[in-house]
């Protein structure tokens, strides 16, 4: 999969008559689907040669055009700057003649920022080593066994600065995936400040690409944006301290005309939960440089002698089968090589959450009444949301005081939990452990534990501040409170919420020279606490949430197999949110619930069946007062529960195909899941807006075995996969906001 080759390029130097030679070391990563190639020049420059569809075992270094012009400084230093500002570097540095977007920038003891990393050596290891940094307990990343991947580690060195950087490249044996990460060591005698240390750079030929990003806001996460590249820089990023609802840490470049089935896609995803940058720069030479990593804005990291810094991992996916191929690659990778939870391959319990049912107005009897009715309908877990602790009757107090409010829950959690368990149901609970209210016992005792700049007013959001998770004392205290609660009763699920961005970013515990490290140290502190939680409670089902999808990123999947996709539970709005989220994330990771109507956010009323079909494309649950909804709706819950149990494995393990796109056509959405062995498929159609005097909507199915016959339960027809793809099926529905599902079963051969 990874190999080294030697080659020589001949060229003429300006003003010389005879031919000169440049010896190159070529490093190639290949599997059946992709090739990634690099070349090392005699002077130690590491150049990008090729990334894309699997190519032949030929010498690819002609793509570097080193034999053209006067751009080989080893033999002609007169044009070193021309070489530096035009060559495709694997890990470009700042200050030495490359004026394009750099990956690496420092500030040394003399106040200088130039750096020059050159190739020193490389090694190849089987499998995929963990990402590690001294003093850091956990850095989330993909994983693989020795027979599933190989990793190339290239050591680069800047002798002047005393820095060594290890560039890590992992290629998976059976997936079109390369992962990238960088580890920096200070081997010198003085302090160095890292100003910019990105995870990956890829140079793509030409500039004829379209850039796809996932943008939005609270309650409208992961909206798909697609624009053509132009000269200069285009980017997506976050400066909020979290990956954010505004911009997911994802970027894809695709060839014009790329759709779900056709076209080339180069996708980049950062396994990180804080400030990120993903950028494409069309250079003066009309080439495209892409970079991704920790956002360098307001970031720096003091690296003392013998200290090290590990970047987060970047996931690179290549698809020649359009956006659908890209998504299915991400889905398979994350299901098999990122999510590590006990629950990752298990059917999740169907839950009912009391938030939209009661908000803060509940007690033990009210929760039990909801659970009692829910248990009769087949719902398997009650989740108690915000309002159970401290003096929490509104959202302006008590965060940080993780002790039971016994005015609501007499005797603590155990009596309630025991009653819920006696119904045959599991019990779950909501926390927001990264936050503190100014009106709380914790803040009154330890105001210095909030992120702050001493002397400046603190900006409130939702009447709360952010705890300084760079401080181990803070983390230990909070973790002690969480474990006291978890150990007090049989709690099998935790919803971990995070409801605001970071402001006045300063720490009372960090020294002055390390204050700009807080952005990153905060994220590492969150990882530390989540890792402790999932290690100490290995069977706990952890669901992440951040005002909905404000921290829906790959790193969170490392700790929690599911993430609440959005606080917007309206079924029609969820179509766009879940469509965009599916670009990178499998449906097994998307928290989705059937909620009440009129919808609490929009006031829209949609059929109960439609709400169920849309929520089925996720972890599935309910967000309503089951004791008060119309009897007609309540009577449909057992059927929805049975539908989830029947199709859960097909949807969580199968291949997803998007057949509709509300960003282009606001009249309908449709999708299907096909089993890996092509033995069955489930098609869902949602008619958003009905139209008069038009024929029934026809859907052309994808992913089926062309030569097998499929029986459709709903139509009674048996048709070949080839016919279903070429001729489709007619969906006969009338009205707005209505839905229908179709199940296809392959006939035995």
Residues noted as catalytic: 497, 567
Torsion of CA 316, 318, 319, 323, to 10 degrees: 30
Kindly give, in sequence order, each residue whose CB lies less than 8 Å from that of residue 278, ignoring residues fewer than 6 positions away: 213, 235, 236, 237, 249, 250, 251, 268, 270, 290, 291, 292
Which one, of 592, 602, 613, lies nearest residue 670 by Cα?
613
Category of 740 on φ-ψ map: left (φ > 0), alpha (ψ -120 to 50) or beta:
beta
Q: In 461-507, which ranges are E strands?
A: 464-466, 493-496
Length of the chain equals 749
Give, in order, the Cα–Cα distances in Å from 525 to each of 44, 46, 91, 662: 37, 34, 28, 39
d(C-alpha 384, C-alpha 375), whole Å: 15
Helix (H), strand (E) counts: the chain: 14, 40
d(C-alpha 34, C-alpha 380), whole Å: 44
Strand partners, 655: 674
Q: How far is CA 115 from the centre of its chain?
A: 31
d(C-alpha 746, C-alpha 676), whole Å: 13
Category of 547 on φ-ψ map: left (φ > 0), alpha (ψ -120 to 50) or beta:
left
Q: How far is CA 702 from the centre of its chain?
A: 26
The single-letter DSSP state of residue 133 is B
Laid out side by side, the sheet with 192-197 consists of: 104-107, 192-197, 301-303
Kindly give, in sequence order, each residue whose CB lies less than 8 Å from that of residue 382, ignoring residues fewer than 6 positions away: 351, 352, 354, 367, 370, 371, 374, 420, 425, 426, 427, 428
Rounded to 10 deg, the angle between the 518-536 and 472-486 helix axes is: 30
d(C-alpha 469, C-alpha 474), whole Å: 6
């Amino acid at each position: 999969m990874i190999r080294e080759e030697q080659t020589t390029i001949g060229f003429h130097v300006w003003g010389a008559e005879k031919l000169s030679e440049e010896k190159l070391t070529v490093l190639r990563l290949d599997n059946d689907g992709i090739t990634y190639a690099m070349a090392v020049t005699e002077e130690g420059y590491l150049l990008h040669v090729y990334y894309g569809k699997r190519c032949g075992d030929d010498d690819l270094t002609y793509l570097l055009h080193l034999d053209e012009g006067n751009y080989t400084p080893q033999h002609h230093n007169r044009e070193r700057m021309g070489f530096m500002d035009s060559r495709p570097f694997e890990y470009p540095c700042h200050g030495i003649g490359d004026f394009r977007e750099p990956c690496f920038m420092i500030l040394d003891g003399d106040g200088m920022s130039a750096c020059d990393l050159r190739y020193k050596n490389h090694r190849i290891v089987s499998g995929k080593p963990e990402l590690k940094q001294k003093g850091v307990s956990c850095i989330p990343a993909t994983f693989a066994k020795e027979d599933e991947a190989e990793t190339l580690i290239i050591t680069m060195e800047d002798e002047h600065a005393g820095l060594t950087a290890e560039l890590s490249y992992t290629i998976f044996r059976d997936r079109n995936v390369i992962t990238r990460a960088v580890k920096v060591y200070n081997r010198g005698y003085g302090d160095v400040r890292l100003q910019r240390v990105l995870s990956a750079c890829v140079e793509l030929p030409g500039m004829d690409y379209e850039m796809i990003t996932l943008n939005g806001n609270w309650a409208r996460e992961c909206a798909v944006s697609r624009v053509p590249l132009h000269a200069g820089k285009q980017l997506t990023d976050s400066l909020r301290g979290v990956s954010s609802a505004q911009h997911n840490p994802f970027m894809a470049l695709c060839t014009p005309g790329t759709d779900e089935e056709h076209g080339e896609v180069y996708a980049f995803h950062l396994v990180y939960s804080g400030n990120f940058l993903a950028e494409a720069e069309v250079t003066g030479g009309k080439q495209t440089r892409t970079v991704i990593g920790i956002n360098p804005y307001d970031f720096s990291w003091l690296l003392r002698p013998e200290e090290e810094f590990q970047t987060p991992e970047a996931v690179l996916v290549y698809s020649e089968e359009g956006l659908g191929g890209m998504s299915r690659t991400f889905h398979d990778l994350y299901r098999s090589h990122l999510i590590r939870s006990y629950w990752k391959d298990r059917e999740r319990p169907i839950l009912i959450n009391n938030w939209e049912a009661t908000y803060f107005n509940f007690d033990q009897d009210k929760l039990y009444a909801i659970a009692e009715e829910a248990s009769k309908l087949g719902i398997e877990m009650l989740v108690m949301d915000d309002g159970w602790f401290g003096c929490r009757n509104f959202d302006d107090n008590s965060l940080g005081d993780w002790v039971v409010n016994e005015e609501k829950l007499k005797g603590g959690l155990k009596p309630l939990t025991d009653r819920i368990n006696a119904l045959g149901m599991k019990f779950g609970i909501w926390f927001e452990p990264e936050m503190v209210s100014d009106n709380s016992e914790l803040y009154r005792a330890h105001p210095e534990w909030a992120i702050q700049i001493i002397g400046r007013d603190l900006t409130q959001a939702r009447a709360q501040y952010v705890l300084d998770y760079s401080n181990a004392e803070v983390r230990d205290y909070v973790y002690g409170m969480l474990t006291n609660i978890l150990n007090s009763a049989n709690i099998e699920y935790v919803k971990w919420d995070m409801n605001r961005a970071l402001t006045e970013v300063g720490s009372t515990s960090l020294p002055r020279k390390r204050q700009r490290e807080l952005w990153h140290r905060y994220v590492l502190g969150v990882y530390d606490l989540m890792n402790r939680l999932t290690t100490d409670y290995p069977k706990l089902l952890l669901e992440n949430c951040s005002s909905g999808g404000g921290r829906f990123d790959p790193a969170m999947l490392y700790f929690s197999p599911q993430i609440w996709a959005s606080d917007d539970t309206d079924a029609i709005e969820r179509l766009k949110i879940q469509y965009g989220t599916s670009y990178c994330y499998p449906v097994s990771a998307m928290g989705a619930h059937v909620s009440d109507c009129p919808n609490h956010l929009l006031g829209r009323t949609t059929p109960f069946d439609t709400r169920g079909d849309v929520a089925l494309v996720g972890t599935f649950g309910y967000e309503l007062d089951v004791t008060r909804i119309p009897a007609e709706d309540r009577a449909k819950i057992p059927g929805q529960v049975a539908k989830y149990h029947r199709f859960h494995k097909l949807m969580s393990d199968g291949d997803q195909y998007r057949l509709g796109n509300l960003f282009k056509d606001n009249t309908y959405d449709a999708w299907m899941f096909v089993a890996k062995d092509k033995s069955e498929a489930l098609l869902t159609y949602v008619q958003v807006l009905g139209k008069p005097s038009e024929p029934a909507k026809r859907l052309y199915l994808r992913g089926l075995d062309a030569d097998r016959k499929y029986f459709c339960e709903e139509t009674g027809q048996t048709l070949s996969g080839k016919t279903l793809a070429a001729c489709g099926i007619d969906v006969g529905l009338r009205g707005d906001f209505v839905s229908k599902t179709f199940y296809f079963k392959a006939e035995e051969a």
